[in-house]
Amino acid sequence: MERKYTIFLVVMLFAGMVTFASAATGDTGLIGGDKGYFAVHCNVDGAKVYFDDDLKGEIKDGRLLVEVYTTATPYKTISVEADGYQTHTAPILEYPGKGETVDLTVTLQPALIGGDKGAYLVKCNVDGAKVYFDSDFKGEVKDGELLVEVYTTGTPYKMISVEADGYETYTAPIETYPAKGETVELDVTLEQAPIGGDMGAFLVKCNVDGAAVFFDEDLKGEIKNGELLVRVYTTATPYKTITVEAPGYQAAIVQIQQRPAQGETVEVAVALTPVPTPTQTQTPLSLFPVLGALGLCSALFLLNRKN
């Protein structure tokens, strides 16, 4: 009887140690939890995959399967990095359900050989705000700032956008580009969205991708795939005009005739016309000089006949 009691104590002690170890590693409550999966597809074998700051493994044969608990705190970003390639960072917008697999496709671009680097220091009043340069996600603000490295020999970015839940999206042109070893500060102040404010939207359609769209004097973004969705508060001061402009095209200004109601989207079609070339703007030859020249030729002809 005493031996059985001793075995029972040893088993209970072992179970307690397992429970303590699980609690120490943060796995408490996940035993038997529902699982889903991310299938990360990448063009570079050996690339390291991070979810937020957690290393999940390396790409092998173009793929890495990442197991997650559906009841755990969702990851926000994926980062993939490899030697000789530019690090790819993007938000995780879709989370798998139980037994479901969500595909994430990443294409790494080779790093510019010998490319000189500068940086932007984005300062913002909202931690966790997402920062985009043009359409590229660059990361989230932490402790009031985010450092974004860029190649000085790369194509310059045109716009910065910063967004966060409960705040109005900030969009502004990037007017200064850093030189080698230089850091350019970009100060962003997010304004709280009106509590309970009803929202509608304008869908601006245009024939020129990359065209900049302004509502009155506010830059709202660029045309992509032929359109740009601009959300507005129905209770805010109404915008009066939409201006669309792009290099090589004549700017188009449209008066806003209709404002969207709550949940409504108003379409606005804008067609940009190329700036006329010098040959297109030349005026036709005047008729009067031509008639004068013909008259002079006729007079000379008659004079020669008389002689």
> Can you spell out the DSSP letters for 272-294?
-EEPPPHHHHPPPPPHHHHHHHH
pLDDT band with cut points at 50, 70 and 90 for residue 299: low
Q: For residue 114, what are the CA distances in angstroms to 47, 107, 111, 117, 157? A: 21, 21, 9, 9, 20
Residue 115: predicted pLDDT: 64
pLDDT band at 241 (very low <50, low <70, confident <90, very high): very high
Q: What pLDDT, on the 0 to 100 scale, is given for residue 21? A: 44
How many CB atoms lie under 10 A from the CB of residue 210?
Answer: 12
Contact predicate 160/186, CB 8 Å: yes
What pLDDT is stored for residue 85 in this prediction? 83
What digits encode the pLDDT tens for the residues 58-110? 999 999 999 999 998 999 999 999 987 888 888 998 999 999 999 999 998 87
The strand pairing partners of 132, in sequence order, are 137, 161
Give the phi and the psi of residue 67 in degrees, each rounded to 5: -90, 135
Residue 298 pLDDT greater than 80, yes or no: no
Largest CA distance in the chain: 153
pLDDT at residue 270 in the model: 95
When pLDDT is averaged across residues 252-262 and rounded to a whole number, the result is 91
Give the residue among 258, 203, 200 at the shortest CA–CA distance from 233.
Answer: 200
Q: Sketch out the chain's domains with CATH numbers.
A: 31-111 (2.60.40.10), 112-193 (2.60.40.10), 199-276 (2.60.40)
- Cβ-proximal residues to 87 (8 Å cutoff; 6+ apart), any chain: 79, 80, 81
pLDDT at 24 over 50: no
Greater pLDDT, 242 or 238: 242
Task: Tell me phi and psi for residue 174, to 5 degrees.
Answer: -95, 110
**Tell me, what's the pLDDT at 27?**
41
**Whole-angstrom Cα distance, residue 246 to residue 213?**
9
Please report the pLDDT score of residue 31 as a whole number. Answer: 46
